[in-house]
Amino acid sequence: MGTVIGLTMPMDTRAEGQPGLDELAAATAVVERLFRELDDTFSLYRPESEASRIAHGELKLPHASAQMRERYAEAHEWRLRTEGAFTPERPDGVLDLSGIIKGHAIREAGATLLALGLRDWCLNAGGDVLVSGSPHPGSAEPWKAGVVDPADRRTLITGYALGGKSRHSAIATSGSAERGEHIWRVGKEAHEAGEFVQVTVAAGDIVTADVLATAIVAGGTPMLNRAADSWDVAVLAVRADGSMLATPGFQPA
C-alpha cells in the first residue's frame, strides 16, 4: 500500500499471560499477509490486480470477487452518508477504493489480533492508528497518538489519547502535506473558504476515522460541521495558512 505498517505490543516475559516472542512473530506474520493480500487485490499500481482489471475494462464490477463488491458497497454507503464528499470513483470515472481499503485492512488486522487472544496492541499504517487495551496491560492508561505539523513533519501540533478510558480507539489523518494533492475536493465552499491541508479524525473505529478525514479534506468546513454533528468524533483541521479548526475533543497544544 506504499506505506509502513507498524505493530507495537507491550511485552513482559515475566508476566503471566503476556505475549512472548513467538506470539509477536505470529501476529506480525498475520498482519503482513493480510495487508499484502488486500494490496494484491485492490492496488491500482499493480497491473495484474483485480482493481486494475476493472479500471481497464477487463472485468465488470458485477462479476468481481465478493470482497471487491463488498468494499464497493461500503464505500458507496459512505458516499451517501457524506453527501458525496467521499466517493469510490475518481473524477475520470475509474473505480478507486484506496480511500477505504487501508482503513479496512487495519480493521481486519485488529480483528485478527483479537481473535489470536492479543488484547494490548497499537497498529499503525502510515499514520492511521488503531489500538486495543493499554501500553500497560491491566491498567486504564491510554495509548498516546501524536498529530504532526503539516508545515514541519518533525513537530507535533498536539497529542490524543486512544484506548484506555478514552471512547476513541482509532485516529486517521488525510491531506496533501505528505503525498501532495490526491484527494478530490467537492463543493463551492471547499474552494472559497481556504483548503485544509491536513485533517485528523479520532473515532471509535478506524474506517470511520479514515473516511471522514478524507471527506473533510474534500468537502471543507461544511463537511467538518456535518461530521461533528452526525458522528461521535473529534476533528482537528489545519488550513494552508496554519490556522486550525478543532472540535472540543481536540485541544491543540
Domains of the chain: 5-246 (3.10.520.10)
CA distance 170 to 80: 22
Phi first, then psi, for residue 125 (nearest 5°) are -120, 100
Q: Are 218 and 227 in contact (CB under 8 A)?
A: no
Q: Please name the residues in contact with 66: beta carbons below 8 A apart, sequence gap of 6 or more.
A: none
Q: Which residues pair with 147 in a beta bridge?
A: 158
pLDDT at 10: 87
pTM for this prediction? 0.89
pLDDT at 192: 46
pLDDT at 250: 85
Coil/strand/helix, residue 168: coil
From residue 157, alpha-carbon distances to 11, 153, 172, 192 in Å are 29, 10, 15, 25
pLDDT at 40: 96
CA distance 97 to 126: 17
Q: Are 138 and 92 in contact (CB under 8 A)?
A: no
Question: Tens-of-pLDDT digits for all 253 residues of the chain?
Answer: 678 899 999 876 445 556 677 788 888 898 999 999 999 999 999 999 999 999 999 999 999 999 999 999 999 999 999 999 999 999 899 999 999 999 999 999 999 999 988 999 999 999 999 999 999 988 999 999 999 999 998 899 999 999 988 999 999 999 865 544 445 555 554 444 447 999 999 999 999 999 999 999 999 999 999 999 999 999 999 998 999 999 998 864 4
Residues 24, 38, 68: CA angle, nearest 5 degrees: 145
For the chain, the C-alpha Rg in angstroms (whole number) is: 19
